[in-house]
Chain A
Amino acid sequence: EAQVTQNPRYLITVTGKKLTVTCSQNMNHEYMSWYRQDPGLGLRQIYYSMNVEVTDKGDVPEGYKVSRKEKRNFPLILESPSPNQTSLYFCASSLSGRLIGETQYFGPGTRLLVL
């Protein structure tokens, strides 16, 4: 089954404790992206990647890091989480990121609480 998977689905952590949220897709997509969803703000893009070793900032990249060492994986790293990063996070992928009107496919989400 074609899908985007994220782990963990739920995470509670404390301020300053580094964490990684994994994202993997099995559709051989080149483009991958991370979003955060907050009430009243919709989804905002954190980082995206056009291909292996190619990443770029979205609208809200502060406090986050990403890496793209393999085509299928795109982990999101919070080096020193803070309470304002408490949010619902979505990973998404699409075929190339360049085709007009290309659809993004979303993972199930990771709910993060930073105390």
Chain B
Amino acid sequence: AQSVTQLGSHVSVSEGALVLLRCNYSSSVPPYLFWYVQYPNQGLQLLLKYTSAATLVKGINGFEAEFKKSETSFHLTKPSAHMSDAAEYFCAVSVRKGLAGNQFYFGTGTSLTVIP
């Protein structure tokens, strides 16, 4: 079975501090992992994705994530938080279900607050 666990439903950081949002996955097949961001009253926007190329993936707005197979993790980081980073972040795994195509499984989300 496939699943995604996001540790910490709420994370607060000071402006300029490191952002670390945790994501662990469970997958019986090679996973394809995504981070999406949701700003208030908006839909989800892709931040970055891992598709078995480089294990360190760089995304938009200075975010990056590292795929660690041994730890089944795909944590999202940003060296210096900005006020505009305040949003809800979702980790997701995509698996191929044969002829049925890709199915996405989302984590429960982490709300990031940035303190001035």
Which residues of B pack against A, CB within 8 Å?
6, 9, 32, 34, 36, 41-46, 49-52, 90, 92, 94, 96, 100-104, 106-109
Contact = CB atoms under 8 A, between A and B. Distances in A.
B67 to A, nearest CB: 12
B106 A44 contact: yes
Given A42-B106, A98-B102, A105-B46, 15 more contacts: A40-B9, A43-B90, A44-B106, A45-B104, A48-B101, A92-B44, A98-B96, A100-B32, A101-B32, A101-B52, A106-B44, A108-B43, A109-B41, A109-B42, A109-B43
Contact of B107 (A42, A98, A102): A42
Nearest to B51: A101
B101 A50 contact: yes
A40 B109 CA distance: 8
Contacts of B52: 100-101
B46 to A, nearest CB: 5
Contacts of A103: 34, 46, 49
A92 to B, nearest CB: 8
Contacts of A61: none
Contacts of A31: 101-102
A74 to B, nearest CB: 14
Interface in A101-115: 101-109
A32 B104 CA distance: 12
A96 B100 CA distance: 11
A102 B94 contact: yes
A101 B95 CA distance: 8
B102 A56 contact: no
Given A4-B43, A100-B96, A106-B44, A58 B103 contact: yes
Contact of B102 (A43, A97, A108): A97
A49 B102 CA distance: 11
A67 to B, nearest CB: 18
